[in-house]
Amino acid sequence: METMMTSEISLSHAEYKKIARLVYDRFGIHLGDKKESLVSNRLRKVVQAGGFSSFEKYYNHLVNDRSGKALDVLINKISTNLTFFGREAEHFSYLMETVIPGLLSTDTFRREKKLRIWCAGCSTGEEAYTLSIAAREGLARAHVEMDYGILATDISGRALSVAEKALYKAENVEKTNTAWIRKYYSKEGADHYRVKDEIREKVLFRRLNLMRPDFPFKNKFHVIFCRNVMIYFDQKTRKQLTVKFHKHLADGGFLFIGHSESLGRDNAYFEYMKPAVYKRSAV
Ligand SMILES: C[S@@+](CC[C@H](N)C(=O)[O-])C[C@H]1O[C@@H](n2cnc3c(N)ncnc32)[C@H](O)[C@@H]1O
């Protein structure tokens, strides 16, 4: 009995292939051949807690569960949500010092009521709140009283629920600049900070799968940040997503990606500006 209760369910190569294919088809995440033990470790508890006697049975449940809940649990386990304050910080300076003044120099943008930014793959919210601060600061430095809004989306419900709380460990917030901490965060207890309401209320968190064939947005964005997300996708999925970003960006809008990612310098849809920053081309 003891042996039965503690015996571990193991993941066969064929089962891994099926789960990896499902993750790719539904979420675009390309696990490749080297993630077998990661998938096995991350999912074993789910398989056991669900009472499945094998990964095969668990897989059948995943594909047959119409509610989508099983897939939610799967993606919460599989997706890598690593993010932190101050990540690739020069992007925020470029947004404030170059992108916002550049947009403001165009007639079409000056006629807009709002600067619209999409943070795609926002994970636990650090990047989205930093964008909210940078947009506010960028507009104030340009002496423009324009409203702004950040749409922050992710596939992981678990990550989004952390983001919505806007509460972060002090040691993590302290990676951002001290003037911003004083202005835009309030201390909560001995070792946490909360993002102030004026910054928080400009960010709208929503669950959205970037693999959707199309996105349900009425208005175009002026800036899209999609950093360290496409790294998990294969070439074909990246290309498709890039075309969708192009469609949802306003003329002259900007796309920021992670520093370890590239769209290539001869991309028909985007003009290379500097490492990991691209401007929408008129095609
Ligand atoms: C490594 S984090 C990057 C977070 C942040 N952008 C940054 O650079 O710090 C990647 C995020 O992409 C999200 N993601 C992965 N596949 C996705 C998909 N198909 N649709 C939406 N979000 C996805 C993950 O849930 C995760 O939170």
**Taking the domains of the chain in order of start, what are their residue ranges?**
2-78, 90-280
Identify the pLDDT of residue 106.
94
Pocket residue to mutate for ligand 1, from 73, 79, 151, 227, most atoms within 8 A of Cβ: 79
**7 pLDDT tier (thresholds 50, 70, 90):** low
2-78 CATH: 1.10.155.10
Residue with tokens 């959205």: 208
Q: Which pLDDT belongs to residue 3? A: 38
Distance between CA atoms of residues 90 and 116, nearest Å: 20
Neighbours of 25 (CB within 10 A): 10
Q: What is the atom index within ligand 1 of the atom nearest the CA of 29?
A: 16
Please determine, for residue 6, whether its predicted confidence score (pLDDT) is greater than 60: no
- Which DSSP letter does residue 146 get? -
What's the 225 CA to ligand 1 centre distance in angstroms? Answer: 11
The domain 90-280 having CATH identifier 3.40.50.80: the answer here is no
pLDDT per residue over 201-229, tens digit each?
999 999 999 999 999 999 999 999 999 99
Check residue 265 and give its pLDDT. 76
**Ligand 1 mean position, distance from CA 156 (Å):** 8
Q: Which of 59, 47, 56, 53 is nearest to 23 (CA)?
A: 59
